Structure formats: structure tokens, C-alpha cells
Amino acid sequence: MKHILITGANKGVGFETAKQLAQLGNFVFLGSRDLSAGQRAVDQLKAIGITNVEAIQIEVTDPDSIKEAKATLDAKIGTLDVLINNAGISGDAHQQLSESSMESIRQVFETNFFGVLQTTQVMLPLLRKSSAPSIVNVSSEISSLSMNMSENRNSNWKHYSTYGSSKTALNGLTVMLANELREENIMVNNVTPGYTATDLNQFKGLKTPEEGAKPIVALAILTDRTVTGKFFKDGGVVGW
Ligand SMILES: NC(=O)c1ccc[n+]([C@@H]2O[C@H](COP(=O)([O-])OP(=O)(O)OC[C@H]3O[C@@H](n4cnc5c(N)ncnc54)[C@H](OP(=O)(O)O)[C@@H]3O)[C@@H](O)[C@H]2O)c1
């Protein structure tokens, strides 16, 4: 049984990931910036017999909120096996780097990059107390430089270049941090749910949240401790 924290777990892919990981017998803390939304998500799981779950307030752009969440976890369990940095935003209607306001671009990076980094920094002391610590960062194929440079690239992606580049920055973070923490045996990897119907894309995604959660769950429970600095998707790897 692993103790797992998922940010942005009150809905979408994060919620489904929490559900599946709890069904596998892990204890899951559902992170939510609005605690009442997190509590409603937990109530939904408890209503179907999943009791190994708890809501925890965490706003990834607010250092005080992250520190409070860490203190709560420290008092309750004193360790953390898996941190799933899932919280993310796509930004305004205009998501192109060429025309988005700097304020909007900074907001997207604040959540998708700095949010992940500061959550990870604060949670590291708890992860270091685990015998098998793992950090799972939720990225997107839109971030892949090799896919963006391929002749078969998705022409639609250029409309989401603010979001895409924030996730490219996240990819860099994953690789750099994986190398930094390699000797401490802390795994750091990326995963994408794939194009999934959630609020993030006005439910236009082609996968269900249940399907989108699967590769995240697989990475969170991976037993091969040599895997670090990689980027996974359902049934394969994504090129950086
Ligand atoms: N859906 C896709 O097609 C797709 C594809 C590739 C990657 N992803 C990635 O998958 C992850 C989950 O997205 P999703 O599709 O499930 O979207 P979603 O349904 O919109 O869920 C996003 C979650 O992140 C939370 N969140 C946003 N900003 C936050 C902040 N500053 N602090 C804490 N929580 C915050 C949201 O909380 P609120 O409810 O309070 O807003 C919500 O719980 C994201 O990282 C996304 O980039 C999604």
C-alpha cells in the first residue's frame, strides 16, 4: 500500500486516477485548491465503497497552501511514496504565444511549471522518508519538441502554444530533476493521459477520464526502480 498525493484531484483525470489507485488498495490524498470540491469528490468515492481516500487543500501557486498540505501529511503519515503533479490549466481562449497576453502566459506557467516545481520542493522531505519514492508529472504530447518538429505534427497544436510550451518547460524539469535525484533513488517521470474529455478541453477529448487515468496509474505503481527521466503514454513512450 502506497501513500499517494494527487494535485488537482477533485475532477477530470486526477479524480479518476485517485479512484483507480484507491481501488488498487493505496491510500490516496485528493489534492484540491477548493477543499469543498475535494470533499465532494471524496464523498463520491465513499458512496461507492472507496474509503481509503482523504481530501487535502492544496493550491499549487500558493507556497503557504503547499506548506500547510505538507505539514498535514507529515502529522498524519510522516512520509509520502508518490507525488502526482496533475494540476494544470490550459489558459485563456487565446493560447498562442504570438498573441496571448504576458499575464495569461505567466499564469499558465505559474500553474503548469512553477506550481509543479514548488509543490515538489516542499514535498521532497516527505518523499525522502519513503522506501520507494516516485514523482509523476502529468504532461502532454503537445509539449514534445520531437513531435512538434516532425513532418506529421498535428497542425492544431499551434493554437495551443502557450499551454504546449509550459509543458515543454515541465519536461525539462522532469529530466533535470530525475538526474539530480537519481542517486537518492527518487524516480521522476512524465506521463500523458492522452486527449481526454475533461473541463480542460471543454470535454472535446476522445478518451474517457477512466482511459486517461490508466497510464498515470501504471506509472504511479511501477515497481521497476530503474525507470527515471522518461515520458510515458498509454502503451508506450513519448519522445522528448
Ligand atoms: N484532458 C486532456 O486531454 C489532457 C491531455 C494531456 C495532458 N493533460 C493534463 O492532465 C492534467 C489534468 O487535466 P484534466 O484534463 O483532468 O483537466 P481538469 O478536469 O480541468 O482538471 C484540472 C485539475 O487541476 C486543478 N487545478 C488547476 N489549477 C490549479 C492550481 N493552481 N492549484 C491546484 N489545483 C489546480 C483543477 O482544480 P479546479 O477544479 O479548482 O479548477 C482540477 O482539479 C493536467 O495537467 C493537464 O494538462 C490533459
- Strands across the sheet with 236-237, in order? 53-57, 27-32, 3-6, 82-85, 134-138, 187-191, 231-233, 236-237
Tell me the whole-structure pTM to 2 decimals.
Answer: 0.98
Q: Looking at residue 93, what is its pLDDT?
A: 72
| Annotation marks residue 19 as catalytic | no
Q: Looking at residue 180, what is its pLDDT?
A: 98
Q: Looking at residue 94, what is its pLDDT?
A: 73
Instruction: Please state the three-class secondary structure of the chain as a single string.
Output: CCEEEECCCCCHHHHHHHHHHHHCCCEEEEEECCHHHHHHHHHHHHHCCCCCEEEEECCCCCHHHHHHHHHHHHHHCCCCCEEEECCCCCCCCCCCCCCCCHHHHHHHHHHHHHHHHHHHHHHHHHHCCCCCCEEEEECCHHHCHHHHCCCCCCHHHHHHHHHHHHHHHHHHHHHHHHHHHHHHCCEEEEECCCCECCHHHCCCCCECHHHHHHHHHHHHCCCCCCCCCCEEECCEECCC
Residue-range domain boundaries for the chain: 3-237
Kindly report, residue by residue over 165-212, the tens digit of the pLDDT.
Answer: 999 999 999 999 999 999 999 999 999 999 999 999 999 999 999 999
Kindly report, residue by residue over 224-237, the tens digit of the pLDDT.
Answer: 999 999 999 999 99
Q: Looking at residue 55, what is its pLDDT?
A: 98
Q: Domain 3-237 falls in which CATH fold? A: Rossmann fold (3.40.50)
Q: Looking at residue 208, what is its pLDDT?
A: 98
| Annotation marks residue 163 as catalytic | yes
Could you tell which of 59, 139, 198 is best to mutate to test the pocket of ligand 1, judged by most ligand atoms within 8 Å of the CB? Answer: 198
- Give the residues of the chain that fall short of pLDDT 50: none
Distance 93 CA to ligand 1 centre (A): 16
Cβ contact 59:37 at 8 Å: no
Distance 170 CA to ligand 1 centre (A): 14
